[in-house]
C-alpha cells in the first residue's frame, strides 16, 4: 500500500509541476476545473445525492467554469475575490463549529452549499496563486505535503493523545506537533534560500493549522457517510478529495492572507 501510495504521489507531482510551469493559463484553468469537478462528484457521493442530482450538481459547476474561462474571462478575478472571501469565512467560522458539534447534516441544499464552499474556492486559489507565482504555489503545496507526511509518521511512532477521536481516530496531537516541527524546518530553509522574513514560518504554521482542519472536515463527512475514502480514483490515496482535503482549506486561506490588504481596502471603502 505504501509503495502504491508513493508511486501515485510521484506521478501526480510530476504532472502538476509540469502543468504549473508550462500550461498556458486557459489550459491550467481547465485542468483545475477538472479536479474541482472530480472533487464535486465525490462530494455528491458523500452527500448521498441521487444520480440525477449528482449529474446536475457537477454539470452546473462544469458549465459555470467553462462559461467563466471561455466566455467571460474578465470575471475570473471577481470570482476569486468573492470565492476566497467566502472560503475564509467558512474555514474560520463555520468549519470549527461543525467539528465541535459534529453536527450531522442531511439537508441536500445545505450539503450542496458546503460542497461548493469546499471545492470551488480551492480551484480559484489554485488559479490565483499560480498567477502570483508558480513557485509560490509549489512551496505552499509542498508545505502541506510535508506537514501531512510528518503528522503521519510522528503520530504513528509517538502518538498517544487523540486529536479528534470521534472524527478521525488516527490523528493525534503528537502528529500535529510533528507537522509543525517539519514545516518549521522547511520554512527556515525557504527563508535561508530566498531571504524571506522569518515571519514566513508563522505563515506556514497557519497553513498547517488549516490543512489539518480541511482534513478533519472531510473525515467528518466521510464518517457521516459511512465510508473510508471519498473515492477510488487514485491508487493508494482513495479519491480526489482524499488527496486535496488539506489543500481545500489551506490554499484559500493563504490566498486570503496574501490579498488581505486588498480586502481591507474594498471592505472599508466599498
pLDDT in tens, 67-122: 999 999 999 999 999 999 999 999 999 999 999 999 889 899 999 999 999 999 99
pLDDT in tens, 194-249: 988 889 999 999 999 999 999 999 999 999 998 888 887 877 778 999 999 999 99
Confidence of residue 10 (pLDDT cuts 50, 70, 90): confident
Q: Please report where in the chains the cell 441521487 appears, as a residue.
A: 50
In the chain, alpha helices (H): 2-22, 25-46, 51-66, 76-89, 95-101, 108-132, 134-158, 173-194, 199-225, 240-258, 260-269
* Mean of per-residue pLDDT scores for the chain: 92
Residue 249: how many CB atoms within 10 A of its CB? 30
Query: Residue 209 and residue 213: Cα distance in Å, rounded?
Result: 6
Return the percentage of the chain with pLDDT > 90, whole number.
73
Q: How many CA atoms lie less than 13 Å away from 232 in the CB half-sphere?
A: 1
> What was the pLDDT predicted at 156?
86
Amino acid at each position: 500500500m505504501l509503495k502504491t501510495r508513493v508511486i501515485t504521489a510521484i506521478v501526480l507531482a510530476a504532472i502538476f509541476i509540469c502543468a504549473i510551469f508550462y500550461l498556458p493559463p486557459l489550459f491550467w484553468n481547465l485542468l483545475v476545473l477538472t479536479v474541482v469537478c472530480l472533487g464535486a462528484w465525490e462530494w455528491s457521493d458523500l452527500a448521498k445525492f441521487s444520480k440525477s442530482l449528482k449529474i446536475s450538481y457537477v454539470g452546473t459547476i462544469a458549465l459555470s467554469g467553462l462559461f467563466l474561462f471561455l466566455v467571460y474571462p474578465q470575471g475570473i478575478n471577481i470570482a476569486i475575490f468573492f470565492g476566497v472571501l467566502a472560503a475564509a469565512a467558512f474555514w474560520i467560522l463555520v468549519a470549527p463549529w461543525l467539528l465541535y458539534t459534529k453536527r450531522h447534516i442531511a439537508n441536500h441544499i445545505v450539503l450542496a452549499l458546503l460542497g461548493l464552499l469546499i471545492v470551488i474556492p480551492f480551484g480559484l486559489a489554485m488559479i490565483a496563486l499560480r498567477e502570483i507565482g508558480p513557485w509560490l504555489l509549489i512551496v505552499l503545496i509542498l508545505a502541506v505535503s510535508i506537514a501531512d507526511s510528518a503528522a503521519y509518521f510522528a503520530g504513528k511512532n509517538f502518538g498517544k493523545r487523540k486529536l479528534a477521536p470521534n472524527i478521525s481516530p488516527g490523528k493525534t496531537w503528537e502528529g500535529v506537533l510533528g507537522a509543525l516541527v517539519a514545516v518549521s524546518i522547511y520554512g527556515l530553509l525557504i527563508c535561508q534560500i530566498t531571504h524571506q522574513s522569518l515571519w514566513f514560518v508563522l505563515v506556514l504554521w497557519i497553513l498547517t493549522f488549516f490543512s489539518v482542519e480541511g482534513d478533519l472536515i472531510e473525515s467528518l463527512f466521510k464518517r457521516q457517510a459511512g465510508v473510508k475514502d471519498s473515492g477510488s480514483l487514485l491508487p493508494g490515496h482513495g479519491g480526489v478529495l482524499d488527496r486535496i482535503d488539506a489543500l481545500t482549506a489551506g490554499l484559500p486561506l493563504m490566498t486570503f492572507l496574501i490579498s488581505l490588504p486588498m480586502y481591507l481596502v474594498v471592505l472599508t471603502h466599498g
